[in-house]
Structure 1
Amino acid sequence: MFVVDTQIHIWKEETPDRPWVPGARERIRLNGHREDPFSYEEALELMDEAGVNRALILPPSWEGNRIDYALEACEADTREMTDTENTPGADGGEALVSAFNAVGADYVFCSSGSEWAPVWESLARRHRDGQPAPEYLDLTHETVAVGMATG
């Protein structure tokens, strides 16, 4: 089985030259998130332990609009990547569903938020039109999603 985690956060420590948005640390505490940095190296180790083949990195909101660490992680991971369909004019939802198809995903186990609307729309269109698309399972928490995906 090929397992893709559809949303992980990785981040570096807050420093004067890498400040977080105001009030971020308090929000992290209130939401029960881990405060310590979560490196891509640690994420890769945990993915390997859990049998997760790929992950989509969503930079955490507390770092503001930074994507530099996510890009660094992608450049550092030497795993073979699969080309996705190149559809002119496709939105992000189409790009993700194309990526799921490219790696042969039969199911998407997900604990998503409202930012997933383009993905839901792409899946609905593809199912309506008889085009290939994985089955989508919306779950209440990412722990449930990982548990189901890994059996």
Structure 2
Amino acid sequence: MLIIDAQVHIWGSGQPSGHHRQTSLFTAEELVQEMDQAGVNGAVLHPPSWDPNSNEMAIQAAVKYPDKFCSLGWFALDDPN
């Protein structure tokens, strides 16, 4: 059975809110390792608001690990492009 986690975070800075692991860094590589240990095949990355660079991290992770990740990223609503 294929198992996909519908919402996970990776980040490189900032202070996570109380119900997340309390570390200022959680990388795609760390997430892949935990997913493999748990038998999770893939995940949808949802960039957290506490890290302004998390959207770019999610995109890079999806490019680097296309069989593991996709991203539910965000974009500026006032940018017509």
Equivalent residue runs for 1:103-122 within 5 Å: none
Answer with 1 or 2: which has the greater Rg.
Answer: 1
Counterpart residue number, 1:79: 67
Contact 2:42 2:68 survives alignment (8 Å): no
What root-mean-square deviation, in Å, do the aligned CA atoms of Structure 1 and Structure 2 show?
Answer: 2.6
Identity in percent: 35
What stretches of structure 1 of length at least 5 have no aligned partner?
15-24, 82-91, 93-151
Higher RCO by CA contacts (8 Å cutoff, separation 6 or greater): 2
**Cα distance change of structure 1 residues 73 and 60 upon mapping to structure 2, 3 Å threshold:** same
Residues in 1 aligned to 2:37 and 2:47: alpha-carbon distance in whole angstroms: 22
What stretches of structure 2 of length at least 5 have no aligned partner?
73-81
Residues in 2 aligned to 1:36 and 1:80: alpha-carbon distance in whole angstroms: 23
Aligned length: 69
Q: TM-score, normalised by structure 1?
A: 0.40
Moved over 3 A (4+): none
**Cα distance change of structure 1 residues 78 and 40 upon mapping to structure 2, 3 Å threshold:** same
Structure (1/2) with the larger helix percentage: 1
